[in-house]
Chains A and B, each alone.
Chain A
Amino acid sequence: MDFIFEYYFDFGLMGDEFGRVLDGFFITLKLSILSGVLSLAWGLVLAVLRQLPGKPLAPVRWLTIAYIDAFRGIPLLLVLFLVSGFLSAAQADGSIPREIGIPTWFGQTSTFWYGVIALTVTYGAYMAEVYRAGIEAVPSGQMEAARSLGMSHGQSMRQIIVPQAVRKVIPPLLNDFIALMKDTSLVGVLGAVEVVKAGQDVQTEFFNGSALVLGALMFLVVTIPLARAVDVLIARQQARTSRGGTGGGGAAEPAPGGAAGIGHTGGPV
């Protein structure tokens, strides 16, 4: 019993190695925030590409859907190996310049950047699906109203649809961000000394897991408030919708079932 306590809660060791674990946690935070912001943007780009209207743009939609399906279906760890392996091999081969193959921008390590790329590529696909749900939840009458005022598809998306969609999906996006933050630990496999790797280093050095527990606590300090924030936002949204939003659903006379679909030939809406 004492052994368990000492193995996980050696406060002396936690104190001695606190700086090292905290340094790792800063790397974790940097990875999370940078990848989080980039995948939020990349996901929105993907979601908008997926909603482009008209027949000529169908290939763009298919490619986007293929990308999203692929990266939602591949483990992040595998993407990490693919990204780091390809970039370092391609620069060794001379196909790409060294500063792209082994990026050390802003004083960060190349493994850090491999992590940012892999996380953005993967989480962009997840977040694209979240945005899509939001875009599709905006009543079709909104697009019709915007288009009837003469706004183009792009203007309608930017001014009318996306702002409403984003508001609807802030809670699920935050949830994805929490998942992303935890998944930054996988970047440690490449050698980036984020908080889990730092804890593990301490563990192998001292045959003691307390630094890992310390790392877990650091995670919780950030993730629990985020989870609570998600709850608050959802509760607020529910309060707002139960108050009754605006009349939204476009009640066209004979609901034209297929007309709004992806392959819609007329496509002016």
Chain B
Amino acid sequence: MAEGHSPLEQFLVKRIAEICIGGDDPNPGDGVFQCVGGLDASFTNASLFMLIAVALITIFLVFSMQGRSLIPTRWQSMAELSYEFIANMIRDNVGTEGKKYFPFIFSLFMFILFCNLIGMIPYTFTVTSHIIVTFALAFVVFIGVTIIGFVRHGTHYLRLFVPSGVPLPLLFLLVPIEVLSYLIRPVSLSVRLFANMTAGHTMLKVFGGFVVTLLGLLGGTAGLVGIGVVGSIAALAFTIALTGLEVGIALLQAYVFTILTCIYLNDAVHMHH
């Protein structure tokens, strides 16, 4: 594969505006940004697409709800649909106590959904394909759920790690496993979203690369031209089908992230399971 056309090139974070807090550039004017001893808080394409996602969500929700008619317009029913989807999810999984966490979970869902979907547009940047972004989201959920659990149940929350009705010798084995599976939650939650996005976009790029490679055969002999024509059309059809699959994955992963957040929240709010 030619230089500069790696399937992973699309995930490169580039600085748009260079901001350095507290540090300095040892050799300014050489065109290379350095931030020694300070915090590199540059405005990157990742920050740009996060802002675009937030702006789009705000525009979508504010403008679609402006009419507030009893019989919703198409846009209004889309906004109501997304609201009801999350409200039902919280009611089914957490119950009525979960209602006060609705704003957080709804924001989480919309942010992940819009970041995933914006990433499907060619030449854009997928924010959720970076582990640090998804890990930050998952870690906020993890810390929040743990605090809610301890605030609601005090030290009784530790009983979450002790399965009931298990003989004492087995507890020595089971409690560490339960603690480990609790601590691994933010990792699995973030890696699931990140790996799905990265794998999907890499796969699209690889199959797109097949089209270009096979078109390169068209300059060859008659047999090679036949392979090139058939192969590139097949690869293009496959890329289109994969794009459809990826849009589905984008929706599904936003759903999975949110429903797992609800399940973790239910553990913290109700405990008995």
Q: Are A and B a genuine interacting pair, yes or no?
A: no
